[in-house]
Structure 1
């Protein structure tokens, strides 16, 4: 192979994570969220500032950021709303989609993960693992017992994919009765029969949830703003902590 046809070298990347509430960093995360959710997936975010996805929960959250040190680019983000701050915020974001009374009966504090997204150029296992390493460290250090969050599935095909994934997750990863919740806007059922024998293409972020021991809390909700189906998932942080040194610290050391 001569020099003219040789493949270009892969760009060098060095990723780091930070937990922050700094306004300028949070705004950069909000711009990435807008790019992914609105420009890429067509969600109607009702943005009041062009190019920025922001809501009333952002100021109460800790924002977990992954940055490429070589380029300075912010490449992934999620946010965590701790139960103490949720009281100030008037509740968790997911209470706009699900009735959560059963989860408030759990014997320990909750935190909520939300607005998770990754830049399309960095959607790989390394980035997602590093983001989860930061989440895990946060939860353990702040003595959170249960993590909840909405796992989103696109509806571009009218809902067939969403129902197939939802049924698969309910079949394989359904939480026990004490974790069950009820959607406030039930996802409309299909008029056709699902073929449950076909392979299911579960989104990478949901796969990451399930690998860490998360469970689905019941039926999906229809989110018209994000034009997706949401499943509420719950993760017992004790299970996450037991895997922490074995899995996540390996990624953080790179």
Structure 2
């Protein structure tokens, strides 16, 4: 990296979070999503409107946004689709990638987290912790029992990284059979041997899922629009609440 490419970092940033369905803020989130995802996955995302990562699910979701109070810039976002709102869009987004029939029998409310992204200049522990704190508060406030979501891994190298990460997570964080799902589009298998000896570089947001207690629910799926591999991850909210309540919610665990 050249000296000219290094951006100065301010010592302190004032960030705030909001839950919104405001169309103006949602469009800002869609623009951030497009900038981040199109670069990271080297894809136009199948966008109908240039520069916007938008789909029919956005109107049914609550959008969590993180804004820099000093600049007004939206710097991180995710969206949450509660089970109670899925009838408006025909189900969860991840049902288009996985057979979720096993999860239909879960005892309790399910919500889906999706399109999580953070501006490159704000990818640090403070921003990600703030994002997850707001997610945790939402889950508790809306009586969500299970959180699911598609965690994406770039296929820009042809799939070697994706398979290594998927295999690592399946070894270390595989969910019980009662949570198992199956991809609708299998990720193409590699013909060469995957080196299992080298350290696995798990993406920060996927690593954050695992630290919160999430588990992967099976084999990866191929997402042709994003040109990435997706893993379905599941988090039992009561375990999040007991393990991270002091850190995120300020309550005794």
Question: Which residue of the partner structure matches residue 32 of structure 1?
Answer: 32
Question: Which residue of the partner structure matches residue 227 of structure 2?
Answer: 227
The correspondence of residues 51-90 of structure 1 with structure 2, limited to 5 A, is: 51-90=51-90
SS at 1:209 equivalent:
helix
1:186-207 C-alpha deviation (Å, 9 max, x unpaired): 0011101112121000000011
* 1:235 Cα deviation after fit: 0.3
Q: Does 1:216 align with 2:216?
A: yes
Question: Which residue of the partner structure matches residue 185 of structure 1?
Answer: 185
* 1:48 Cα deviation after fit: 2.2
- Partners of 1:218 and 1:231 within 8 A in 2: yes
- Deviating above 3 A after TM superposition, structure 1's stretches of 4 or more consecutive aligned residues are none
The correspondence of residues 116-195 of structure 1 with structure 2, limited to 5 A, is: 116-195=116-195
Question: Which residue of the partner structure matches residue 4 of structure 2?
Answer: none
* 1:109 Cα deviation after fit: 1.0
Compute the TM-score of the two structures, normalised by the length of structure 2. Answer: 0.93
- Partners of 2:17 and 2:67 within 8 A in 1: yes
* 1:245 Cα deviation after fit: 2.8
Count of residue pairs brought into register by the alignment: 243
C-alpha distance in 2, partners of 1:233/1:216? Answer: 4
- Partners of 1:12 and 1:70 within 8 A in 2: no
C-alpha distance in 1, partners of 2:42/2:204? Answer: 19
C-alpha distance in 2, partners of 1:9/1:211? Answer: 26
Question: Which residue of the partner structure matches residue 196 of structure 2?
Answer: 196
Query: What are structure 2's unaligned runs of at least 5 residues?
Result: 1-7
SS at 1:85 equivalent:
helix
- Partners of 1:44 and 1:227 within 8 A in 2: no
* 1:101 Cα deviation after fit: 0.4
SS at 2:50 equivalent:
coil
* 1:40 Cα deviation after fit: 4.3
Question: Which residue of the partner structure matches residue 5 of structure 2?
Answer: none
Q: Does 1:106 align with 2:87?
A: no
SS at 2:10 equivalent:
coil
C-alpha distance in 2, partners of 1:126/1:249? Answer: 15
SS at 1:245 equivalent:
helix
User: Over aligned residues, Cα RMSD in angstroms?
Assistant: 1.3
- Partners of 1:83 and 1:109 within 8 A in 2: yes
1:27-53 C-alpha deviation (Å, 9 max, x unpaired): 100110111112443223222222111
SS at 1:57 equivalent:
helix
SS at 2:79 equivalent:
strand
Question: Which residue of the partner structure matches residue 237 of structure 1?
Answer: 237
C-alpha distance in 2, partners of 1:246/1:37? Answer: 32
Query: What are structure 1's unaligned runs of at least 5 residues?
Result: 1-7
Given the superposition, is the C-alpha separation of residues 45 and 245 from structure 1 closer, same or farther in structure 2, using an over 3 Å criterion? same
